Amino acid sequence: MRYLLVEDNLELAEAVTKRLALDGHAVDHAASLADAEDCLAVGRYDLILLDVMLPDGDGRAFLARRRAHLETPVIVLTARSRVSDRVGALDQGADDYITKPFDFSELEARCRAVLRRRGGAARNQIALGAATFDPLAGTLRHADRTLDLRNREIRLLEVFARFPGQILSKGQLMDRLFSHDADVTENAIEVYVGRLRRRIENMGLRIETVRGLGYRMDLDGT
Q: In this structure, are 105 and 6 located in the same domain?
A: yes
Domain boundary among 64, 97, 118: 118
Q: What pLDDT, on the 0 to 100 scale, is given for residue 102?
A: 93
Q: In this structure, are 142 and 66 located in the same domain?
A: no
**8 Å CB contact between 90 and 66:** no
Predicted confidence (pLDDT) per residue in 144-192, tens digit = 899 999 988 999 999 998 888 899 999 999 888 888 777 888 899 999 9
Q: In this structure, are 112 and 141 located in the same domain?
A: no
Q: In this structure, are 130 and 95 located in the same domain?
A: no
pLDDT at 40 over 80: yes
Angle at 209 between CA 206 and CA 210, to 5 degrees: 125
**8 Å CB contact between 115 and 87:** no
Q: In this structure, are 144 and 78 located in the same domain?
A: no
Q: Residue 168: how many CA atoms within 13 Å on its side-chain side?
A: 26
CATH label of the domain that carries residue 173: 1.10.10.10
Average pLDDT, the chain: 89
**8 Å CB contact between 6 and 59:** yes
Domain boundary among 88, 118, 148: 118
CA nearest to 188, candidates 179, 197, 178: 178
Q: In this structure, are 178 and 100 located in the same domain?
A: no
Q: In this structure, are 139 and 206 located in the same domain?
A: yes
What domain range is 156 assigned to?
A: 126-218
Angle at 173 between CA 18 and CA 221, to 5 degrees: 120
DSSP code, position 71: -
CATH label of the domain that carries residue 16: 3.40.50.2300
Q: In this structure, are 98 and 9 located in the same domain?
A: yes
Q: In this structure, are 80 and 112 located in the same domain?
A: yes
Q: In this structure, are 112 and 187 located in the same domain?
A: no
Q: In this structure, are 112 and 13 located in the same domain?
A: yes
Q: In this structure, are 110 and 146 located in the same domain?
A: no
* Count of structural domains within the chain: 2
Domain boundary among 118, 139, 157: 118
Q: What pLDDT, on the 0 to 100 scale, is given for residue 9?
A: 96
pLDDT at 222 over 90: no
What distance in Å separates the CA atoms of residue 95 and residue 12, rounded to the nearest whole number? Answer: 21
Mean pLDDT of 31-59: 94
